[in-house]
Structure 1
């Protein structure tokens, strides 16, 4: 039996790439170490307020709540064809893949693979992932004007990033809006356009052998796209609600971590966290490691009254949001490896021995 799934072209062993995990964790540890080195002062822990520390447990709860809303969105878009346990397994695998692949790629291909292993056709799995991405883009499209309007009253973009940083944020905002428009057109207005793109891609010689299968799945994707277009407006609003709640949890996490250590300007912390999370999307390193820690220090560091707490805040935030995701994700991804390759191969051997 091949280790590569014939329907998706994804190797089940590639679900866990220790090389990428090592790169991602190394970048994260090095960048956290640098932030701590440049901000740490002896005796900083003496200034911790015990009454605030339970906030870190709230942050852990919010992390799990974010997974719940993401799983709920997935199950809802799949018309409840898959149970809660499967949805959580898919989402944890998706989060894990996102943590060890470049932020510009994300874990969508692995999420599609995981859904096919849970019994959903590749075409529909691809459509569900694309609609999930589309809902994220809708949310970004709502977030951008909020940040632009708030910029008239608050320093949403830290002055420390300078002209280049401001221009970069403008490009990020513009890119998100353009991408949202492209997906909306492709999925909601003219689904046939995506099928044409897939057909063009798989005409290339090195992909031609998969063209028949992928064209058939493109038909499924188009069929599901037309099907979901018939859904009432309430369907989209509820799916957007799950997306919004998931992203609000993500935006709230850095704020909760900072406020668990010492007081701060709550409104500005939320706005900076939102802008920071949008900036995370273009960091090319695996899981954004090495870059997100620096952006945290750049966006939220100036709002932390004790500079020596910046490194501590970055450390606590990454442990809660990143390392927990990797731990839970490895467990979830291992299930697919064991049940997709190891399990069937073992059963095949046992059958041969019996014969």
Structure 2
């Protein structure tokens, strides 16, 4: 009976996080911010570049978007050692993206993903291990990509043209601190999974006994246990497994960061150095999204976009149009897809009677 109650609670928490009504708040926030930005700066003549749209770049942007999602589906299917069917892998990725859109950016879809895998028939310990592997690989991509874009872009990665010196310095410090944090976290996960998970668990528990950190001690203990489980599940996988996982991770994140450049190039003439600088600025833009407290960074992502990319676009009106299109294809699209995939997934996992309950919650 206790196990049944625990499972029921887990199911209810999952469905609560994924309920369609969560769409309303981020849409209202995001569109309100974009609407205000248009109202403040709209000039009809500023949208003239729309007449010179380059279909090839628009097509390339769509190809990049589809390739990114295909890469995610491929990665989760092969990380789970093909336990997931292609359909199940697609459902998991679409609901993972949906949860990232309706939950605060600091939480993201990672909190939901292990339960999604568990509901697909993968034991919870393995589910946690696979999600920890994706988190480790994602962080390692960031750790390796940042030095490369800093080498290419240098100080131009920071929007000096849009921010005063003090704000640029604050952004630089935030960028450096986030990089250090992600690097330490990625190395800690590497050590925990492949070398000595028990020592990392003990370190976490001791660290969170310090005054000021004690409130998160239980979470640290749980995370330590998850690392031990992940190590047991993953450390003996062969080189081919990790090579495939690493290459698919590099593919999906590179595609993710190419979207803005492709979108801008579809309407504005940009040189190749500018295109790669746009790619690099995505990594500094990400710092703002990491600390966003709104669902999916709604409002904050829209408001910060002109600061980082307005230089390459020109007028404020055209920049605001780019903001809208960018969020449509990378955010609002996944709210819609989530609302489409969710009832199908719920019907497949829980049965059709549950669909009506969640759709009206």
Instruction: Work out whether the TM-score is over 0.5.
Output: yes
- Go from structure 1 to structure 2 and tell me whether the alpha carbon gap of 1:294 and 1:234 turns closer, same or farther (over 3 Å shift): same
Q: Verify: 1:286 aligned to 2:288, yes or no.
A: no
Superposition pairs for residues 204-243 of structure 1, below 5 Å? 222=228, 225-243=231-249
- Go from structure 1 to structure 2 and tell me whether the alpha carbon gap of 1:55 and 1:40 turns closer, same or farther (over 3 Å shift): farther
Equivalents in 2 of 1:268, 1:198: separation in Å?
38
Cα offsets for 1:143-182 (capped at 9, x unmatched): 2212332343x50111134222222222222221122122
Q: For residue 177 of structure 1, what is the aligned residue in structure 2?
A: 183
Equivalents in 2 of 1:345, 1:254: separation in Å?
39
Contact 1:12 1:341 in 2 (8 A): no
Unmatched tracts of structure 2, length 5 or more: 209-213, 356-361
Equivalents in 1 of 2:8, 2:191: separation in Å?
30
Equivalents in 1 of 2:12, 2:137: separation in Å?
25
Q: CA RMSD in A?
A: 3.2
Equivalents in 2 of 1:117, 1:92: separation in Å?
15
Q: Verify: 1:324 aligned to 2:343, yes or no.
A: no
Contact 1:191 1:222 in 2 (8 A): yes
- Between Structure 1 and Structure 2, how many residues are aligned? 335
- Go from structure 1 to structure 2 and tell me whether the alpha carbon gap of 1:92 and 1:156 turns closer, same or farther (over 3 Å shift): same
- Go from structure 1 to structure 2 and tell me whether the alpha carbon gap of 1:281 and 1:10 turns closer, same or farther (over 3 Å shift): farther
Equivalents in 1 of 2:92, 2:251: separation in Å?
18
Q: CA deviation at 1:198?
A: 11
Q: CA deviation at 1:195?
A: 6.7
Unmatched tracts of structure 1, length 5 or more: 347-355
- Go from structure 1 to structure 2 and tell me whether the alpha carbon gap of 1:173 and 1:331 turns closer, same or farther (over 3 Å shift): same
- Equivalent position to 2:320, from 303, 311, 326: 311
Q: Give the TM-score, by structure 2 length.
A: 0.82
- Go from structure 1 to structure 2 and tell me whether the alpha carbon gap of 1:15 and 1:261 turns closer, same or farther (over 3 Å shift): same
Cα offsets for 1:75-109 (capped at 9, x unmatched): 11111111111101000000000011111111112
Cα offsets for 1:201-243 (capped at 9, x unmatched): 9xx9xxx9xx9xx99xx58x74552342122333222211111
- Equivalent position to 2:83, from 78, 81, 84: 81
Equivalents in 2 of 1:344, 1:307: separation in Å?
49
Q: Which has the larger share of helix?
A: 2
Contact 1:12 1:337 in 2 (8 A): no
